[in-house]
Homo-oligomer: A and B are copies of this chain.
Amino acid sequence: MTAADESSVTTQPPVRRDTVGRRAGRGQLSVDELVGRAREGDPRAVARLISLVEDASPLLREVAARLAPYTGNAQIIGITGSPGVGKSTSTASLVTALRAVGKRVGVLAVDPTSPFSGGALLGDRVRMQDHATDAGVYIRSMAARGHLGGLAWATPQALRVLDAAGCDVVIVETVGVGQSEVEVAGLADTTLVLLAPGMGDGIQAAKAGILEVGDIFVVNKADRDGADQVVRDLRSVLSLGAQPGAWRAPIVKTIAHTGQGMDDLVAAIDKHREMLAASGELTRRRRQRARDEIEAIAVTALRQRFGDVHGHADLDSLAALVAAGENDPYTAADRIIAAI
């Protein structure tokens, strides 16, 4: 297979979204042409470019180089929170609100791949069907590949595709509470932390480490018992960490499935964005993001060399020695590094 074959994509509809794969024969597109079509809003070209970066295609570098001049315009919004707080419904509702003011919106939903379901259990995606036929919305479910490398590495590249494709806003939704939302906060200009009544109290939220990453807090399911208590607990905990002159993260009450509170949320996002731009924090965050991205790519490349230089067997035999207590991991790591 040649590089041209690898980049080929049919132009024959109908093709199911996100499955535009390698196709030989007519209608082969170069990376340049794919980027051109993505910028014109062709969802198949966007899907193909994301697949190229997600699969670490040999064309990845060419894709990255061609996209670079068009990046840096999209506003990146991160959404995180515990399972069950209504992240997917809130994302769908936020998309509706943003579409109402004419914004082009991309959504990256980062889900761990479950061997049980292959993602099929994730019924939440269905709620996005309202937007499935809207050409101003591009939705992509990213598989987090069961390892930390997944989100850290592929998601920023997929973000670049959506940014270059002309999305005004890209929403990155992550499931889970733990380390992952620290990552989403690193990717996003504005991070929304969702809470809901009955999902654990303020102290539990603090414990999960999600408070410090929130630029805006959303108390969803605001029509349920206990919502006001969540707001009070949150306000009380947030006041402990308040810094004079710093951004004070607002708390917005929503009922995502009816859309209630979404206008307030959009207003809070706009206000945060203005603060970021005026204070220079936007530039700082974006440089930090680029820095993290460069580091992640360099680390991945070096990690691959651990295998290339030694062969799997060698790292494995070092690991066997360490597991047996016959070597320590630092000495083993020195040997790996010495060889690359």
Contacts and interface: CB of A to CB of B under 8 A. Distances in A.
Contacts of A60: 330
Interface of A is mostly: helix
A71 interface: yes
Interface string A195-234: 0001111011111110110000000000000000000000
A293 B178 contact: no
Contacts of A24: none
Given A72-B324, A291-B316, 11 more contacts: A83-B205, A112-B182, A115-B212, A117-B206, A121-B237, A122-B203, A148-B179, A174-B178, A291-B315, A297-B330, A297-B333
17 contacts: A82-B82, A82-B83, A82-B177, A116-B237, A117-B206, A121-B237, A122-B203, A147-B179, A175-B207, A176-B176, A178-B181, A293-B322, A294-B318, A294-B322, A297-B330, A299-B303, A301-B333
Interface of A: 60-61, 64-65, 67-72, 82-84, 111-117, 121-124, 144, 146-148, 151-152, 156, 174-183, 198-201, 203-209, 211-212, 237-238, 240-241, 283, 286-291, 293-295, 297-299, 301-303, 306, 315-316, 318-320, 322-333, 336-337
